[in-house]
Structure 1
Amino acid sequence: MAAPASTATRRTLMRALTCLAAAAVVIPLSGCGVVRDLVGGSASQPARDETTQEFIEQGDADVFALMVGDCMNEVSEELVSEVPVVPCDQPHDEEVYFDLTLDGDEFPGEEAVQTRADEACLAQFEPFVGLAYDSSTLGFYAYRPSQESWERAEDRVVSCVIYDPAGKVTGTLAGSAR
């Protein structure tokens, strides 16, 4: 398995319910929306085009609502529940290029989830970009389930995210051969 150029450019963000610990004491949870409601966060999501399902406005979106083709700006937190999305025709840092749903009832462990995420994202990199990862100037990482989101929110989705370390891009990186 090939790895990103350096650990400094590789980010391994996990989906998580950031207020889970406090909220778990109050009531059982079934998803991010419940957590957001408990802490007073906004339940509204940025608007999507009814036909293409692409975001047509910027704003914070639930990380569980991300879809292939969504564009967003970078977040620096290790554990996230929301991400700043933007329409892809506007400058942005990142794009979701592949989703993988993991199987199983029991959380397989951080290392196993990370390994499976790396393998899947790497395997889908060249078909998306049109150039092998080792020859590309682009990088990738994955939003992946944490043990808490796996067990409490039945989160099984790994979202592969591509980015250009040189800075923001406008439009999709699909077929860019960069």
Structure 2
Amino acid sequence: MTTRRRLRPLTRLTVALGAASAIAALAGCSLLGGGELGSGPSAERDESGQVVEGTDGADVFTLQVGDCLNDADAADTVSEVPVVPCADPHDSEIYASVILGGDTFPGTDAVLAEGDEQCGTEFDAFIGIPYVESIYDFSYYFPTESSWERGDREILCVIFDPAGQKLTGSLDGIAR
């Protein structure tokens, strides 16, 4: 499906200035195997869609805004990530979904630029203060050329504590 990009804490101001692509660390996940997108394992959800029972290996194509992940140690290429209820300690929270348009893969640099811009904009609205003022950082999962060919157009923005502290509950509107 996607590639994940973790930003180093020292690049926060640079990201706000639009130069993150050149200096940010990349980590990723891409579609592995030949199954249909989203046909793998997923976390157990209640009627509202909230995770009520996590899983050590949720298909990356089953992730949703509001999901909380234990993905700090995710490999460069993954097809599954650990998902937990947000009340449990977790590494990150999916706070936004951005759907890219087009039939042709625009290239990794274009996808990264869109992820930087859209996740930065959504970050401010989600957290309640500008990104450069927040103690939190963001990263995202995004389509690779391989997953794009199979219909993946989604960037999933995730928020995390760059100090590596576990989060508990949602950070929606925390203004920190």
TM class by shorter-chain length? 0.7 to 0.9
Contact 1:89 1:170 in 2 (8 A): yes
Aligned equivalent of 1:31:
37
**Cα distance in 2, alignment partners of residues 53 and 10 from structure 1:** 33
Structure 1 residue 56 corresponds to structure 2 residue 52 = yes
**Which blocks of at least 5 consecutive residues in structure 2 are unaligned?**
1-12
- How much has 1:44 moved relative to structure 2? 3.7
Aligned equivalent of 2:92:
94
Matches within 5 A, 1:35-46: 43-46=40-43
Contact 1:15 1:149 in 2 (8 A): no
- How much has 1:14 moved relative to structure 2? 4.0
- How much has 1:177 moved relative to structure 2? 1.0
Matches within 5 A, 1:75-154: 75-151=73-149, 153-154=150-151
**Cα distance in 2, alignment partners of residues 14 and 101 from structure 1:** 18
- Tell me how large the CA RMSD over aligned residues is: 2.4
Larger radius of gyration: 1
Q: State the AA in 1 paired with 2:138.
A: F
Aligned equivalent of 2:5:
none
Contact 2:38 2:62 in 1 (8 A): no
Aligned equivalent of 1:3:
15
Q: State the AA in 2 paired with 1:164.
A: D
Selected match of 1:164 from 161, 168, 171 = 161
TM-score by length of 2: 0.81
SS in 2 for 1:79: coil
The structure in which a higher percent of residues are strand is 2
Percentage identity across paired residues of the two chains:
42
**Cα distance in 1, alignment partners of residues 110 and 157 from structure 2:** 16
**Which blocks of at least 5 consecutive residues in structure 1 are unaligned?**
24-28, 34-42
Q: State the AA in 2 paired with 1:127.
A: A
